[in-house]
Amino acid sequence: MFVIPGLIGGDAAFATWTAAPVTLSEEDRDDAVADCLASSKDVGDNMYTEDLANAEVAIAERRGAWVTVVLAGADGFDATCTTDASAPWWDKGMIGSIGKLGAETDPSPRALKPTQLGTGVIMNEPISVATGRAGDDVAGITYTSVAGDDVIATVSNGQFAFWLPGDELENASDGGSIVTVRYRDGTTEIQEMRF
């Protein structure tokens, strides 16, 4: 019996991951959003059903075979999903979050308000994730990894998202994480992201 990797799909150990994201095609975007909605709908005994129905797509990006979707809505609602789009439907796996921060926690114009900041596991591999809300003046975010890679965040519709393979953000929820933030006026600043 022969197994052909191209037929079974899946990106073992994040082999295709890229530090810079690309925008999803319309078809891939629709598929990724549908997957995110489906995987989020039953969370918390369906307590976010209305929020999901009213949420808008804030971010839809690809890093190699991996897609990330951030859905955002009223009162600080967001749902985030990262999945391997090349994996077969029965073995896709997903990592993400869902919840509401409340409108009173909107970030100031140059601030970042993480909703995910740390390390999880997907497909038996560690993944470090940072997502959340970005102030109106934030145009870009770069995280420099331990290996020296500049990981470029997607910043769109008041949200930001970036992730990288490995566990280097494992303690970030307690200790914070350093990023370079670029503002709409072209200036940059080093910020420490923390909850």
Tell me, what's the pLDDT at 103? 67
Region of poorest pLDDT, from 11-15, 48-52, 160-164: 11-15
Q: Other CB atoms closer than 10 Å to residue 86's CB: what's the count? A: 17
- Flag whether 9 is in a domain: no
Domain boundaries, position 150: 17-193
DSSP annotation string for 113-173:
EEEEEEEEEETTEEEEEEEEEE-TTEEEEEEE-TTS-EEEPEEETTEEEEEEESSTTTTHH
Please state the pTM of the whole predicted model.
Answer: 0.91
Distance from C-alpha of 92 to C-alpha of 94, rounded to nearest angstrom: 7
Place of tokens 């990981």: 151
Dihedral (CA of 107, 136, 73, 70) sign: negative
Provide the number of structural domains found in the chain.
1
* pLDDT single digits (tens) 55-76: 999 999 999 999 999 999 998 8
User: Distances from the Cα of 40 to the Cαs of 49, 68, 95, 115, 173, in angstroms?
Assistant: 9, 13, 10, 16, 23
* pLDDT single digits (tens) 150-182: 999 999 999 999 999 999 999 998 888 999 999
Contact 138, 43 (CB under 8 A): no
Counting residues of the chain whose pLDDT is more than 90, the rounded percentage is 75
- Flag whether 4 is in a domain: no
Inform me whether the pLDDT recorded for 77 exceeds 90: yes
Distance from C-alpha of 97 to C-alpha of 89, rounded to nearest angstrom: 20
Distance from C-alpha of 162 to C-alpha of 124, rounded to nearest angstrom: 20
- Flag whether 7 is in a domain: no
Region of poorest pLDDT, from 4-8, 13-17, 55-59, 187-191: 4-8
**In the predicted model, what is the mean pLDDT of the chain?**
90
- Flag whether 6 is in a domain: no
Inform me whether the pLDDT recorded for 1 exceeds 60: no
- Flag whether 107 is in a domain: yes
- Flag whether 1 is in a domain: no
When pLDDT is averaged across residues 88-107 and rounded to a whole number, the result is 81
- Flag whether 11 is in a domain: no
Q: Which two tokens stand for residue 179?
A: 């990023």
- Flag whether 71 is in a domain: yes
Inform me whether the pLDDT recorded for 9 exceeds 70: no
Q: Residue 192: which of 118, 111, 135, 134 has the closest Cα?
A: 111
- Burial profile 28-46: b = 16 or more Cβ within 10 angstroms, e = fewer: ebeebbebbbebbeebeee
When pLDDT is averaged across residues 11-32 and rounded to a whole number, the result is 94
Distance from C-alpha of 100 to C-alpha of 2, rounded to nearest angstrom: 47
Inform me whether the pLDDT recorded for 143 exceeds 90: yes
